[in-house]
Amino acid sequence: MSLQRHTMQRDGLDLAWYDTGGPGVPVVFQHGLCGDARQTAEACPLGHRLITLECRGHGASQPGNPDQFSIKTFADDIAALIEQLTLGPLIVGGISMGAAIATRLAVTRPELVRALALVRPAWVTEAAPPNLQPNAEVGALLSRLPPDAAREAFAASSTHARLAADAPDNLVSLLSFFQREPIAITAALLQAIAADGPGVTEADLARLNIPALVIGTGQDAIHPWTMAEQLAALIPGANLRQATPKAIDKSRYLADLHSALGAFFEDI
């Protein structure tokens, strides 16, 4: 899948967005925390027009003021992009943080969203859910220690030991953050977003009247299967699917995503 890079201006910042173009069903699909457009391109099936915005401080997008890092800000930026492209309402989705952004958009800007595709959600409605504590922990270490010392401190923690035993894929992702530049932006993102939430209620989710797909996995402490179950139960008529955990076989995980997402997109 070939993504063509473009730039939009928001609040004086250059934000990078990408588009495969073509006649396929247009889908706005968002990356997870500290991810970028490569993650969404990898996750989305071929044959559909993928549009993705790299959120502030991610990929080629400028960070701006770290005090503005929030799911609300990121969702507002994506709403502005959809309006700029005059494509709404369309399918909106994402992975982890991207799923929270999509959920917020469906509730707060329903005229822009015709269907939801939520992969490995890390939030339902609550801000700062306990499953995001490892992200906050890594962010806090990076904010007060040099990267090598921060990684050493994390390696000695009970969180590291727990994830090594129960969720090794989560651990691989967390360890990559100790090398993600700029370190100060990475630390700010991890702490701010781990403490945030989608800003919606269970009643908001119950009022959604659009097709929805929720995909979760096992062996994932940051995105527990129970969270996918809870989210799917709150959205009327949502279809819940389980993918192979990345910790077991990443290629099978991606194949499961492509199959479930492709079928869902075709049905919309």
The pLDDT tens digits of the residues spanning 42-74 come to 999 988 899 999 999 999 999 999 999 999 999
pLDDT in tens, 165-179: 999 999 999 999 999
Owner of token pair 């990929």: 59
Structure tokens at 158: 């009970």
Residues 170 and 210 sit within 8 Å (Cβ to Cβ): no
- Chain centroid to CA 66: how far? 18
Q: Please state, in angstroms and rounded to a whole number, the distance separating the CA atoms of residues 205 and 207.
A: 5
Scored b (16 or more CB within 10 A) or e, 32-51 reads bbbbbbebbbebbbeebbbb
Residue 23 has pLDDT above 90, yes or no: no
184: number of Cβ within 10 Å: 12
Helix crossing, 158-166 with 133-144: angle to 10°?
140
Q: What is the pLDDT of residues 200-219, one digit of tens each?
A: 999 999 999 999 999 999 99
Work out the pLDDT band at 1, boundaries 50, 70, 90: low
The string of pLDDT tens digits covering residues 221-252 is: 999 999 999 999 999 999 999 999 999 999 99
Encoded tokens for 29: 């699909």
What average pLDDT is seen over the chain? 96
* Residue 35 tokens, joined: 């991810």
> Which residues lie closer than 8 Å to 159 by C-beta, 6 or more apart?
133, 134, 137
How many residues belong to the chain? 268
| Number of other CB atoms surrounding residue 267 within 10 Å | 10
User: Which residue's entry shows tokens 């990267």?
Assistant: 147
Side-chain half-sphere CA neighbours of 249 within 13 A: 7
The CB density around residue 84, as the number of other CB atoms within 10 Å, is 13
Estimate the crossing angle of helix 168-176 against helix 147-155, to 10 degrees.
160
Residue 215's H or E segment, with its range, is strand 212-217
Residue-range domains of the chain with CATH: 4-129+197-267 (3.40.50.1820), 131-191 (no CATH)
- Smallest CA-to-CA distance from 92 within 268, 228, 226 is with 268
CB under 8 Å to 181, separation ≥6 — which residues?
none
Mean pLDDT of 30-49: 94
Any residues with CB less than 8 A from the CB of 16 and at least 6 apart, and which?
5, 6, 7, 37, 53, 54, 59, 60, 61
**d(Cα 176, Cα 191) in Å, to the nearest integer?**
16
